[in-house]
Amino acid sequence: MLPTGSYEEFSDDDPYFNDDKPKEKCGVVAIACKGDLTSHMYYALRALQHRGQEASGMVTFDKRQKMKKGIGLVDQVFSEADLKRLKGNMGIGHTYYSIKVSQPENAQPFTLKAEVGDIAIAHNGIIVNAPELVKEMKSQGYMFTKSSEEEAFALILNDEMKKNNDIEKALQVVAKKLIGSYSFTLMLNGRVFAMRDPLGLKPLCLGQFDGGYIVASETGALDVIGAKLIRDIQPGEAIELFHDKVESFKIANSKRRAHCFFEWVYFARADSIIDRLSVYHARKRIGWRLAKEHPVDADVVIAIPDSGRGHAYGFSMGSGIKLSEGIMKNRYVQRTFIMPSQFLRDVSIKDKLNPVKAVVEGRRVVLVDDSIVRGTTMKTIVQILRNAGAVEVHVRIGSPPIIAPCYLGIDMTTRDQFIANHKEVKDIGKAIGADSLGYISIDGMVEALQIEQENLCLGCVTSEYPLPITGERERDQHTLDMFD
Ligand code: SF4
């Protein structure tokens, strides 16, 4: 039986901070065009707001480099006057998520007045060898102002450009020295570049619009400005953008890839296409597979909005149980701050998500979401559904249990925070108050994504990482030479 409901008309773009969820760090954009750069950049950044809501920034070039960055959402940081002042034909932009208290100086793009000229860098990812690299560079006499990974990049670039003024060679040296996940956009004296790490951990795509080219973290940023998706930037590839062409060059070889599976499961917008795979279709297939792996007798399937929608739709298709909108989201609630008491934590969740009594009362409900980190939010939502009259609540999750930290750019840093790290699935089900709980298996998810397992990063669900991480098991890489 096909689902009686459809979520096609809803956007899965979730611009709000959502606690007890993995948190992405950053979206990047680069544009080269003949005409109005700042409007294109502004809307592209807004389309990437879900990747970071702490700070936003833009650096443009028109005879000289100009910048505006600050704490806040894109539309809070940029005024009309800013966009006029930033007028130019080349630029890069950034939306920022921070695990620390927001500091204006952490906003990106990072800029440096170097000997070779003006450098601006926007980064999505984490350089895992940054502390050692910065230490080593300091011992060699490099002067840092922030000791950040972006500054290390800028100083290496400056050094290499001084030696031979060859950007291709310089970025190859950068790629050799920086180990980690990165999608960078870069501006050097008004020339605009983008580059992706050799494993392709973070997404990055190229689009063309009337009068220019754009690179962005997700295709959602291309769609909004009317750009056509040309292709993904390949792992280990850098490109230079011009208003009428792009030039590509290789900065690193890699024998395999390690795309972060969570991009499809949760982080990316449902309307994005990442590495040629529609995020929406991926979620739908995961939900379908979840229904086959964990069938249940129930009356209605509902999603936790917005993150569980694609999975719930797939679950409904796979199970034949009708789909309904059983939880309403208050779109006007923005930030949720850390709440000092359980009462306030519960209120803050109900403030954002409220059950539709008419849908759940007297019914056996299947509640579908993408992931569980601590389980605290899920527990409250299950209770809210029971209070609204649900006679049974069965929870189904579109990712395997998260058991290990992410060292590659997602804010999941300690094992203690994961409920699945210290409880069996049936005990997690009890802890969240569900009648039953089912997670998709790793095999099931890999099959649903239709990407070979060896080309995915599954570090947080397997404890095996695609890069050497101190104290952790490495998946299959033995030496850093594999990146030569
Ligand atoms: S560890 Fe998990 S969240 Fe981090 S990059 Fe790998 S798959 Fe993504």
Q: What is the CATH number of the domain that holds 353?
A: 3.40.50.2020
Q: Is residue 460 part of a domain?
A: no
Give the Å distance between the CA of 479 and the centre of ligand 1.
Answer: 20
Q: Is residue 484 part of a domain?
A: no
Q: Report how many domains make up the chain.
A: 2
Last residue of a domain, one of 267, 285, 316: 267
Q: Which atom of ligand 1 is nearest to the CA of 405?
A: 1
> Is 128 touching ligand 1 by the criterion CB < 6 Å?
no
* pLDDT for res 307: 83
Last residue of a domain, one of 225, 244, 267: 267
Q: Is 406 a catalytic residue?
A: no
* pLDDT for res 247: 98
Q: Which of 26, 33, 406, 457 is catalytic?
A: 26
Of all protein residues, whose CA lies closest to atom 2 belonging to ligand 1?
460
Tokens of 140: 């060699």
Domain of 326 in residue numbering reads as: 276-451
How far is residue 465's CA from residue 473's CA, in Å, rounded to a whole number? 6
Q: How many C-beta atoms lie closer than 10 Å to residue 433's C-beta?
A: 17
Q: Are residues 205 and 228 in the same domain?
A: yes
* pLDDT for res 9: 28
| Whether 289 contacts 267, CB under 8 Å | no
Q: Are residues 308 and 334 in the same domain?
A: yes
Q: Are residues 222 and 281 in the same domain?
A: no
| Whether 214 contacts 39, CB under 8 Å | no
Q: Are residues 289 and 214 in the same domain?
A: no
Last residue of a domain, one of 214, 232, 267: 267
* pLDDT for res 474: 80
> CATH number of the domain that 71 lies in?
3.60.20.10
Give the Å distance between the CA of 406 and the centre of ligand 1.
Answer: 5
Place of tokens 């950068």: 174
- Averages of pLDDT over runs of 10 residues in the chain (484 residues) are 30 38 83 95 97 94 95 95 96 84 79 97 95 93 90 96 96 96 97 98 98 98 98 98 98 92 95 96 98 98 93 98 94 58 70 91 98 92 96 98 92 84 94 98 97 96 91 64 42
Q: Are residues 114 and 242 in the same domain?
A: yes
Q: Are residues 162 and 262 in the same domain?
A: yes
> Is 460 touching ligand 1 by the criterion CB < 6 Å?
yes
How far is residue 130's CA from residue 119's CA, in Å, rounded to a whole number? 19
Give the Å distance between the CA of 407 and the centre of ligand 1.
Answer: 8
Q: Are residues 251 and 282 in the same domain?
A: no
Among candidate residues 450, 443, 28, the one with its CA nearest the CA of residue 202: 28
Give the Å distance between the CA of 201 and the centre of ligand 1.
Answer: 8
Q: Is residue 12 part of a domain?
A: no
Give the Å distance between the CA of 10 and the centre of ligand 1.
Answer: 27
Q: Is residue 479 part of a domain?
A: no
The residues that bridge with 27 in the sheet, in sequence order, are 95
Q: Are residues 263 and 140 in the same domain?
A: yes
Pocket test for ligand 1, best of 458, 462, 472 (most atoms within 8 A of CB): 458
> Is 449 touching ligand 1 by the criterion CB < 6 Å?
no
> Is 406 touching ligand 1 by the criterion CB < 6 Å?
yes
Sign of the four-CA dihedral 471, 474, 478, 482: negative
Pocket test for ligand 1, best of 181, 197, 261 (most atoms within 8 A of CB): 261
> Is 260 touching ligand 1 by the criterion CB < 6 Å?
yes
* pLDDT for res 412: 81
Kindly provide the residue ranges of all beta strands, DSSP E only, lying in 172-255, ordered along the sequence. 180-188, 191-196, 205-209, 212-216, 228-232, 237-241, 246-250
Give the Å distance between the CA of 371 and the centre of ligand 1.
Answer: 13
Q: Which atom of ligand 1 is nearest to the CA of 263?
A: 8
Helices (H) and strands (E) in the chain, counts: 17, 25
